[in-house]
Amino acid sequence: MSRGDEEFVEFARASSGRLTHAAYLLIGDRHLAEDAAQTALVRTYAAWSRVRRQDAYAYARKVLVNHVTDGWRRPLRERASGEVPDRPAGGDLADEVAGRQWLVEALGALSPRERAVVVLRYFFDLPETAVASELDVTVGTVKSTNFRALAKLRVRTDRPVASARAAGDTTTSRGERP
């Protein structure tokens, strides 16, 4: 095995779990998520000689997000209803199985772009400028998309709650296609 291949194997072992987890959040289906993560790694390997000296993880992440958001083979995306299910009462959301399941279902109610922004911002912890670059949109679009997504998810921010609800209601009533 060449040195480059050895490096890729090491990279894939280290990153595949996190990429698959992100894909699951983006898609909501574990099998499709595993396929998407694998596809991202395939394309990363195909470009390995070019990206191995750069930020290979950023490359793989970008491929993954683009693959999912562009995914013409993603029938699940059409299931997005814009209606976030009721959150289970009680318990610590981060620790509860029910809470985890609710979060996946809630993400499924978002449009692909909203979902991608949430995952890039709060799973990968990317700043808004980096999210804009990865999604090839403006920072303003990232801000507004993020605001709508958080409103739908009923996440408390420093904005007034009433505004968040209004924005969420407006977006839902438009029936925005995912």
Partner 1 sequence: MMDLDTLRSGLRAAPGQPLGAVDIEHVMARGRRLRVRRRLLASGGAAALAAAVLAASAGSSWLAQPRPAVPGGTAPPSSAAPSLAAPSWAAQGQDPVGAVVPTGIRLRGGEVVLYAVAVGEPSVPGVHFGVMAGQMDADGRLTARVASNEVTGSDRAAGFHAVQAATEVDGVWMPEFGYYAGPAAKISGSVGGQVIRARQARWSQDPGVVLFWFDPADLPAGKQPSRLSAFDAAGRALPTGDATAGHG
Residues that bind partner 1 (CB under 8 A): 5, 8-9, 12-13, 16-17, 20-21, 24-25, 30-31, 33-34, 37-39, 41-46, 48, 72-73, 87, 93-95, 97, 99-101, 103-104, 118-119, 122-123, 125, 150, 153-157, 161
Residue-wise DSSP of 30-76 = HHHHHHHHHHHHHHHHHTHHHHTTS-HHHHHHHHHHHHHHT-TT-GG
- Give the nearer residue to partner 1 in terms of CB position, either 17 or 85: 17
Least Cβ distance, residue 55 to partner 1 (angstroms): 18
State in angstroms the smallest separation of the CB of 74 from partner 1. 10
Residue 20 or 111 having the CB closest to partner 1: 20
Token duo for residue 120: 């890039």
Name the minimum Å distance from CB 139 to partner 1: 19
> What backbone torsions phi and psi does residue 176 show, to the nearest 5 degrees?
-55, 130
User: Phi and psi at residue 73, in whole multiples of 5°?
Assistant: -100, 30
Quick check: 15 and 44 in contact, CB under 8 A? no
Copy the structure tokens of residue 6.
């050895």
Residue 63 or 132 having the CB closest to partner 1: 63
- Shortest separation between residue 129's beta carbon and partner 1, angstroms: 18
Neighbours of 116 (CB within 10 A): 26
Nearer CB in complex with partner 1: 44/111: 44
